[in-house]
Amino acid sequence: MIRVTAKERDIPYPEIFITSALIQDPKSVTSDPSFEEIGGTVSNPSKVFPDLTSVRARVVGMVKSTGTGGELKLVEEDFTTPVDLNATPFAVPDTAGAWQTFSFDTDVQCRASRNLYCLMGRLNGATAIELKYVQVTPFLV
């Protein structure tokens, strides 16, 4: 775990602390129109951030897609109640079948406890979506 000093907290960009893999090997999105679980990890952000009011999550990885309409979102589940961490799902760009990097930030506060973080996706009109090397990182906003 990396700790920062009070002086480092004044840096005007996100402070990244830990990263968890959601997907390593290529995985295809096959569901249309409902969301399906593509990958996930278990984490407790309150162990790193005692005050979660300014903590969000950033999802980064690689995508290969054909067509428009595909969507991704991150869902936090405390093993009883799922919460969408994206008010609006991330729109997957049409990459014309070529691998490209992507990233999106959540806009809903994480909850304090050990939670399951699931990457969810759907075709929603896209012909194909494939993901690999996808990770999630909590950061301060």
3-state secondary structure of 126: coil
What is the count of structural domains for the chain? 1
Residue 1 lies in a domain: no
Residue 3 lies in a domain: no
Task: Report residue 18's pLDDT band, with 50, 70 and 90 as the boundaries.
Answer: low
Q: What is the CATH number of the domain that holds 79?
A: 2.60.120
Residue 127 lies in a domain: yes
In eight-state DSSP terms, residue 80 is: S
Q: pLDDT higher for 137 or 74?
A: 74
- Domain containing 59 equals 8-140
Residue 52 lies in a domain: yes
- Per-residue pLDDT, averaged over 28-47, amounts to 89
User: What gap in Å lies between CA 13 and CA 131, rounded to an integer?
Assistant: 27
Residue 84 lies in a domain: yes
Task: Report residue 114's pLDDT band, with 50, 70 and 90 as the boundaries.
Answer: confident
- Per-residue pLDDT, averaged over 108-121, amounts to 88
Task: Report residue 141's pLDDT band, with 50, 70 and 90 as the boundaries.
Answer: confident
Burial readout 69-80 (b: 16 or more C-beta within 10 A, e: otherwise): bbbbbbbbbeee
Residue 101 lies in a domain: yes
